[in-house]
Structure 1
Amino acid sequence: MDQRQHPRRGGGQPRAHRAVRSADQVVVAPKAEGGLSPVRVELPYGSRRLPLEIPEGISAEVLWPRFVEVPADEEALLREALDHPIDAPPLEKLVHGGQRVALLADDISRATPIPRILPHVIDRLHRTGVRDGDIQIILALGSHRPMTEAEQRSKVGEALWGRIAVVNSEFRDRSKMVRLPGLPEGPDIWIDRRIVEADLRIGVGGILPHPAAGWSGGAKIVLPGVAGEETVAAFPLLHGRTPWNMFGAVDNPVRQAMESWVTARVGLEYIVNVVFTPEGRLYRAVAGHCIEAHRRGVTLAREVLCVRFGHRADIVMATSYPADSDLWQAGKGLLAADLAAREGGTAILVAPCYEGAGPHPRYLEYMAAGSADALLQQADRLPPAEQLPLAVAAATLRLQERLRIAVVSDGLTPDQILQAGMTPFPTPQDAMDDALRRYGPGARVVVIPHGAEVIPTASSSHPIA
């Protein structure tokens, strides 16, 4: 089996379109009289767009998220999901007045339209007698940096800000955590105390591709979302030790471990997860059991985000838009590129990384190790604070063992990119031109403008469920 792709991943049907951005799924170079026409793409890059042209005669595919018809009434979509939860009773039957409710929401690194979802959930809680003062919104940071007050306010929306308590989850402060017994195959679980003290836990978030868990949403909002450092580190370590690319694969050892821990030790009584388009429009919503509802949501997310391509490419250029604030997040673009690239090909990451390498100071240092397996041998001798960046670096090193990696980024210096074992370029065009010189006129190219949100799927793979 190709280590880059899980055998059960699905895809959609390719269509040919002009080389312009619409809501199209795949853009291929149309035939000109003398061969293949040039392909021009504007790549999302933070708040800007960067131009790219692939010259005439080069076989090129551009993979956009699939075009889907979104419901005209998203309020009705959310009501329908809450009225018909999957493998769980209605929310109104899970809680009663006077109980404390923890609403776990994803953080600023996800574009989930939380302000349009939470009011529906809170309205259902109010019907049972739960008051605003009984509810706390906990922003699940995992190991990400704390959100500022302005970011928190934007994330929950003006309608709820000031009415309901909003806090960041705790990651390092043990005085604000509770230690729970782990499962036989894992360490003890450190979890934010406010989660354990709540009478009901509800996870609210989006379903998007994820490097280790396959997809965000479901039980991931608890582990690692609101877990302590030692517990969070266990998941990237498992990811780093798994040799195949789990981006978009829901049946993987990391997802299985987190779901076992959450259901057996912590508890997540209910979820509300949504699938949304790159423009932020709600496509589908699911509610109910943290595993069964999530699985249905993943099937729906594949309809938007799994995109077929014709052939593995010599050169894959991917942004990590919209998860492109730092290199820690931008690695998603490389994972997407890996799924479309041939062994020995080149992946070009285009990401602004305005916050630099990310929240873990030694991340770049670990990426300089050269060997994933050698790096992982150090893990057990290190504290959790170092195990986490080491493990994520190991996963990136596995990509470097298969691919040459180039990076275009304003937020990283050339020295930082070189330290990570990658090659810096000033613009996407410079990086593409260099790669085309390497592979010659017969090169195959794939471009993924939304690399953090698209799962490239080979045409020979199983269809979308």
Structure 2
Amino acid sequence: MGNHDKHVKNSYLMDPSMTVIPIGKSHITLSKNFSSEEYIINPRYTPGINLKDNLISSIESPIGCPPLHELLKPNASICLLVEDITRPGPKKEILTILITYLAKHGIKNNNITIIFARGLHRRHSRSEWIQMIGEKIVEQYRVMDHEPHDQSRLIFIGETSRGTPVEINKFVCESDLIIGVSYLGIHDFAGYTGGGKIILPGVASEKAIKKNHILSLDERSLPGIADGNPARMDMEEAAEILGYHFSINVPLNYRGEPVGVFSGHFVKAHRCGVPVTDEMYKIPLKDKAELVIVSAGGFPHDINLYQAERSIRYSSRVLVEGGTLILVADCIDGIGNRDMQKTIKDYRGDPDNIRDELLKDYSIGKWVAWDLLQNSEKYDIFIVSENLDPRVFSQTRIKIFQRIENALKLAYSKHGFSPKYLVIPYGNITLPWVPNCRLYKA
């Protein structure tokens, strides 16, 4: 039914006629039973662009606000917000172009502060700063990580209509001009990355982030949905209260190449870029499937279950009730999050109990576990990995397999040997959806 092809370098450029499931830095090739191209769901390819030309054009002719040079004043303090190491994108190239542009318009080096908008993600090392934006920039400009736990570096400036305290990085609040640079991709519950998200959670307090992220429990906070998404709306309201000035949003194709630049107002420019991301990664389907075989996309997407679970979150939406989902994920680092592991290990069959806990004390790891476990109550979830301990899942309905053949055998026993299937080789970046499905109905 399948074979493990060892020592084959994982690549987004594999022959699309092959039914290939990446796993770690290798891959699994499925049998011809799963070779119909009609049922293999891959991201669409959009060619890359000339970044410099498109970025300059975008900031000179922005969407919904004046050109960037008109916002620059003599001796103005400029805050450049950049996403952290968990987000892809050509950060060094973009900052180099931006800094050159600012210098051309009279902004001096000592008037520029670069802040990594890491939210509650871990701190970076100096070597990681250099890796992301280059040694020259790190040495010549004031560079720092956002500190969400240090109240002395935060300022309270208001509250959103949903009750989220808008506590923002002091340097950001005190800057004359805030420019944010974001990757524009699909996001788990904020709909998309980019736009106002670089403010909240990017440079907000722990308290603000946790309050906002509780909205991830709302059934309207979905991947691939921006307008009407409570989590996204709350983020954008916080950015409005701050007075976020200029947003630069860059969608990337599956090779990591920029395919467009959408600059200007943090909502209007963002929404103009969303259809470009949708065209690549949001794949409409006619019907739901009985069996979905999904890979996170290989390393680093499947470095642990904490990262790879996103593939279940996205692809489960195209499963029929009671269907079977087989996740192929190396998980070389195991589950990868303590809160997630503890929540799974302590599970006693009722995801609503975890939801109640999240409302009292939110953590991302617990939320990822809740999402996984609630899906496991609706679907049969099988995980193919040699690095997960089945004992951790003993109180759940989730089954762990070392080989895909055994997972398929059990799926066949339920659905027969010719189930209605889908294969999704890059599940962490592909959002399949059924247009008439209630969750995604416009």
TM-score scaled by length of structure 2: 0.86
Is the 1:23–1:64 Cα contact (8 Å) retained in structure 2? no
2:189 counterpart (212, 218, 232): 212
The 2-side partners of 1:233 and 1:74 are apart by 35
Name structure 1 gaps, 5 residues minimum.
1-19, 28-38
Asked if residue 52 in structure 1 is aligned to residue 29 in structure 2, the reply is yes
Alignment of 1:83-98 (within 5 A): 83-98=60-75
Superposition deviation, residue 323 in structure 1? 3.8
Further displaced range: 368-377 or 210-219: 368-377
Equivalence for 2:235: 258
Superposition deviation, residue 336 in structure 1? 1.6
Is the 1:232–1:388 Cα contact (8 Å) retained in structure 2? no
Per-residue CA deviations over 1:48-74 (Å, capped at 9, x if unaligned) read: 132131443786722111022333x33
Alignment of 1:14-413 (within 5 A): 40-43=19-22, 45-46=23-24, 48-56=25-33, 61-71=39-49, 73-240=50-217, 242-243=218-219, 246-251=222-227, 252-264=229-241, 266-321=242-297, 323-358=301-336, 361-367=338-344, 368=347, 370-382=349-361, 386-409=362-385, 412-413=388-389
Letter in 2 for 1:69: P
Letter in 2 for 1:190: E
SS, match of residue 162 in structure 1 = helix
Is the 2:315–2:431 Cα contact (8 Å) retained in structure 1? no
SS, match of residue 33 in structure 2 = coil
Further displaced range: 337-346 or 50-59: 50-59
Superposition deviation, residue 211 in structure 1? 0.8
The number of aligned residues is: 424
Name structure 2 gaps, 5 residues minimum.
1-10
Further displaced range: 84-93 or 192-201: 192-201
The 1-side partners of 2:170 and 2:55 are apart by 30
Per-residue CA deviations over 1:356-415 (Å, capped at 9, x if unaligned) read: 4445x3223234253332222234544xxx454444433333322322222234554333
The 2-side partners of 1:424 and 1:338 are apart by 17
Is the 2:169–2:204 Cα contact (8 Å) retained in structure 1? yes
Superposition deviation, residue 213 in structure 1? 0.4
Superposition deviation, residue 212 in structure 1? 1.1
The 1-side partners of 2:399 and 2:354 are apart by 21
The 2-side partners of 1:402 and 1:245 are apart by 19
The 1-side partners of 2:96 and 2:317 are apart by 38
Further displaced range: 332-341 or 405-414: 405-414
Equivalence for 1:8: none
Equivalence for 2:3: none
Letter in 1 for 2:19: R
Equivalence for 2:431: 455
The 2-side partners of 1:147 and 1:105 are apart by 13
Superposition deviation, residue 283 in structure 1? 1.0
Is the 2:245–2:265 Cα contact (8 Å) retained in structure 1? yes
SS, match of residue 166 in structure 1 = strand
SS, match of residue 251 in structure 2 = strand
Superposition deviation, residue 270 in structure 1? 0.6
Identity of aligned residues (%): 28
SS, match of residue 210 in structure 2 = helix
Letter in 2 for 1:118: L
Superposition deviation, residue 222 in structure 1? 1.0
1:415 counterpart (391, 409, 416): 391
Per-residue CA deviations over 1:249-303 (Å, capped at 9, x if unaligned) read: 1121111111112102x23211111111111222111110000000001111112
**Does the C-alpha gap of structure 1 residues 89 and 58 become closer, same or farther in structure 2, counting only changes over 3 Å?**
closer
What RMSD, in angstroms, separates the aligned Cα atoms of the two structures?
Answer: 2.9
SS, match of residue 161 in structure 1 = helix
**Does the C-alpha gap of structure 1 residues 121 and 461 become closer, same or farther in structure 2, counting only changes over 3 Å?**
farther
SS, match of residue 281 in structure 1 = coil
Per-residue CA deviations over 1:53-97 (Å, capped at 9, x if unaligned) read: 1443786722111022333x3322222212210001111111223
SS, match of residue 447 in structure 1 = strand
The 1-side partners of 2:52 and 2:317 are apart by 36
SS, match of residue 283 in structure 1 = coil
The 2-side partners of 1:21 and 1:193 are apart by 41
The 1-side partners of 2:334 and 2:125 are apart by 18
